[in-house]
Structure 1
């Protein structure tokens, strides 16, 4: 204990001395210019235009005997998977000059990339493990993530903000211990630091967090990390790659790898989920960025005919699947300006309670999964565990009925499949380091998985570096092209500044809530939505507004700033194909309030049916798909993480 105290005091002193370096203050030089609003942009390529780049669809007869010789188009690179890493890799490769095709089986961010803790962070819990386990691997992971955190904040300032996070302290001896850890965290961020950590008194802590249980409270330790909108950032990555020339397509499933004469994977047979049309595409290299589903692609590379092993996800070798559940609670469960960190849960994890999109995000759990579920869901037990942990800190009752939404994401914890004995089962995932792995299969598939959202850019850089270095045809042409994504702003960031919402409110006569919502989700593209308000006033109506007959409106009907104009914008500019794309991943309503999202399904389906010319049966199918998805977000009790597919 004496050594711990001396060590903590030493680190505290060092951290305090480092304060002037890390705690940089940005001041206006008075010379910044305000760029005019962008009120019109050319629409991105249509679905049909993008599909034409793949060549003609193959006929039913051709499907029976496909060959690499039958490809209808050729790309330098095909990226499989439209999550954070896949879209990040597509952007990186496109900026280097490669001709890139990205295909995603569902929607962008439909998997783990929309179900994170929404934090751009180094991982303060990993730092603790690095110190106490003397683990250089853990420390390297923290330092890498801290530097990548700065890149996210710089490249997508409309989607990512700095958030103070308070660690409530209930024992005096914990103050130097926690401060020492936070000081190290600041120090390892170096010049990429955000703001310096500090201690709050008991009274200041309760002023900021009045919901906290005051009994025994000593004070609070505040450190800083990034908070962001994960699904919208994922979409921004896809749109930015497309803006620079990549062909990006959602709802395109890779049915088969096409092999050359040497058995190498040099193309794909892909199917349009909505139309059923299939295309044969060749490539110099295939990159698998499927996250938890990587083992399925690995099985396709291994097989002689390029077809997947249907049991690959039931017995994964590369991915160690772990389910992480989060819940959304009303705004009164947390401060509007600071998050909370529970640093000492019974099973050794940490728990976050964060203000996000006007609500409170709480999580996460860490439950090993025997197989990779197609549609993971939050179980009642995990929801109960999160609420029980929150009750330790909140002085009023924490109620299950306060849960507005809940979801489960599958962490793609990774191991080298060549070192894994057949049939080995991992009983716990807590000891597995959250680093990433670039792995080349014998037949040429290059897989990238592991890591976490914050390090997506570095993961993308690593896999593109590896691909160019090890694929001779690409090395000859692109070896001298460096990665440029470190400081490459994403769609929506170019003309954005922190006062953007103020100017929106002034020019378009918006409420502060609506102006902030549009600015912080669409950045400098928000005026395009506002122009729709002017041209079509009915589009300013909230999504899912109850019909006037026999309904007395209340504040609750208008509490969310999601409008019809936003839906029309996303249909025009953001490749929304299914209603759940909009309700869950563009406007995030399903993640914020599942009941409200259910109320909006009919209206969204009607608008999309008119746009896409859906038949009555197609409308019914889309409505059912959206309803099933939303109901499993905490509205119906789920006994297992596998939901209805179990």
Structure 2
């Protein structure tokens, strides 16, 4: 016998083999199999919950409360985030929003929960620790959004097409560094696709000179629904949150300290005095208007509009195109446009979102409107990558938002409103001599951390009637927002099994309402009328009192192309505090942002249902009908009918 078979190596190998064999024998034959709990792992669908406080009940809380701990002015991402954070710590909170939640910049983002690959590039080449800190902060908060709002946020691969060989390692190393700085919250590993693989995934892309594509991963989300969900979750946690309440004046004591505000209910004209221990200015791009009121001894706004000092405004325009302009489950990043910007082309809500521009502004408009030049600018950049002619008539919707870049107002002297001195890339919290706390800047991804730091500032500075020591620490890192409880990524399948609905409707509801989808579908199945698209709500063939609906000669495939039903509108009226048609068409649903023409056709039907539910008179009805049509009419719909050749981007 060979020495090997008698040696220690053979004995060691034999022992190892015996151990491995024993483990396999135990795992496959001796250990009892784990009992599957798949059939019992899901709780029953949530089909009904108590109705939240009505708007009137919330107004009565404002009227009866002698003083709140915190008054938040502004109902965008940051304002509702502050209200939720403060309420979950144990503070008595009131939030007042002049218009609707997310009516400004918070509904007009690029829909990305991201750290910012462009900031990482700047951090490396400029050796900027501030830029790097901003990236790491945002990457951490990206993970938080995906965890606390799983129904509204999801992972999206993003492709960077590369047309020069030397750029392949450059972009790939950048993507890998992006993964590395995300640490344990990295979503998926970056990779490289060959030109053949890229063409297979994105056949609409011009591959004539394509060398490869680098792919990294970020988050995508529904910004306006996220904002409304924050507001509703704050109410659920005990906060008093109201839209359409305009702050007309700050309340000041004899020492010139801010102690609340006087607000007007824009629906009734009734005036409310809201006293508070602390007041937070969270009005986004409009923070300077509240700061001007703060400068006045009586807390009144100036008679003439003043140039902004804290905000450095610029216009960011996005357009929406049909789904065939981009892969269904993968975005496209243009790392360097003709003027040096970064531009995204992303799948979103069944369409393609393209943007953004960056045009400096001298003032901050309350309702910015995209210009034809800005729309054409985006289409021209897109044409660099698309093999077929980009058609202007394909633009389904377009909108403009104001980017909230800020600077420390104390560094700006009188008459130097255009100065960039003191400019910060992240958010900024300031406390004025009057004790007004202002939070501005940042981006959607970091809203939660901005809110946490703001509430930390309040707790450290103000005495909330001796209860500071009993307040809880920040809770929002682990608080799942309404709709995210018991949600799973295959929730749409559960809805299909339970309610026998089309896949498109199931995905729409599950990805926007999460575990509350079944509540809408309970309304959906109450009558055939509730199943109709909202574009048909005003059709004479269908009356709300009818249990069934005759569909003869009225319904078409196009009528059902967008999955927004009357049931969804009735749910929003009951649970989501919509007060105008545009609240529903643009923000609780995104129809106006996805397809402005379809949204225009739905206005009359939405108005008729809301008129009955909210008991509008004829004057109010016509006023809100016209406001909705004017708003949607400015969302990129071509002002005139051009020849087809004029729509093609050369």
**Fold agreement, TM-score > 0.5:** yes
Residues 364 and 139 from structure 1, CA distance in 2 versus in 1: closer, same or farther, beyond 3 angstroms? same
CA deviation profile, 1:262-300 (whole Å, cap 9, x unmatched): 111101101100110111111000001000000011111
Q: Is contact 1:405-1:591 (8 Å) kept? A: yes
2:400 is aligned to 408
CA distance in 1, matches of 2:160, 2:298: 54
CA deviation profile, 1:440-469 (whole Å, cap 9, x unmatched): 111111000000000000000000001110
2:48 is aligned to 40
CA distance in 2, matches of 1:172, 1:433: 36
Residues 31 and 297 from structure 1, CA distance in 2 versus in 1: closer, same or farther, beyond 3 angstroms? farther
Q: 1:636: how far off?
A: 5.1
Q: 1:444 aligns with which of 435, 438, 456?
A: 435
1:196 is aligned to 189
Q: 1:103 aligns with which of 90, 93, 96?
A: 96
Residues 195 and 564 from structure 1, CA distance in 2 versus in 1: closer, same or farther, beyond 3 angstroms? same
CA distance in 2, matches of 1:198, 1:310: 57
Q: 1:637: how far off?
A: 5.4
Is 2:569 the counterpart of 1:567? yes
Residues 637 and 445 from structure 1, CA distance in 2 versus in 1: closer, same or farther, beyond 3 angstroms? farther
Q: 1:519: how far off?
A: 0.4
How many residues align? The count is 594
Q: 2:231 aligns with which of 206, 219, 238?
A: 238
CA distance in 2, matches of 1:86, 1:389: 35
CA distance in 1, matches of 2:605, 2:419: 45
1:614 is aligned to 616
Residues 404 and 106 from structure 1, CA distance in 2 versus in 1: closer, same or farther, beyond 3 angstroms? same
1:302 is aligned to 295
Q: Is contact 2:407-2:420 (8 Å) kept? A: no
Q: 2:581 aligns with which of 579, 582, 590?
A: 579
CA distance in 2, matches of 1:606, 1:478: 51
CA deviation profile, 1:127-148 (whole Å, cap 9, x unmatched): 0111111111111000000000
Residues 456 and 29 from structure 1, CA distance in 2 versus in 1: closer, same or farther, beyond 3 angstroms? farther
Structure 2 counterparts to residues 50-449 of structure 1, below 5 A: 50-55=58-63, 73-312=66-305, 314-426=306-418, 433-449=424-440
CA RMSD for the aligned pairs? 1.9
Q: 1:42: how far off?
A: 0.6
Flag the structure with larger Rg: 2
Residues 427 and 221 from structure 1, CA distance in 2 versus in 1: closer, same or farther, beyond 3 angstroms? farther
CA deviation profile, 1:595-631 (whole Å, cap 9, x unmatched): 0000000000000000111111111001011011101
CA distance in 2, matches of 1:637, 1:294: 33
CA deviation profile, 1:9-67 (whole Å, cap 9, x unmatched): xxxxxxxxxxxxxxxxxxx99667211111001111011110101126xxxxxxxxxxx
2:637 is aligned to 635
1:63 is aligned to none
Q: 1:536: how far off?
A: 2.1
2:19 is aligned to none
CA distance in 2, matches of 1:512, 1:542: 15
1:494 is aligned to 485
Q: Secondary structure at the match of 1:253?
A: strand
CA deviation profile, 1:551-598 (whole Å, cap 9, x unmatched): 664322210000000000000000000000000001100000000000
1:598 is aligned to 600
* TM-score when normalising by structure 2: 0.89
Task: Give the gaps of 5 or more residues in structure 1.
Answer: 1-27, 57-71, 639-646
Q: Is contact 2:308-2:417 (8 Å) kept? A: no
Q: Is contact 1:289-1:448 (8 Å) kept? A: yes
Q: 1:478: how far off?
A: 4.5
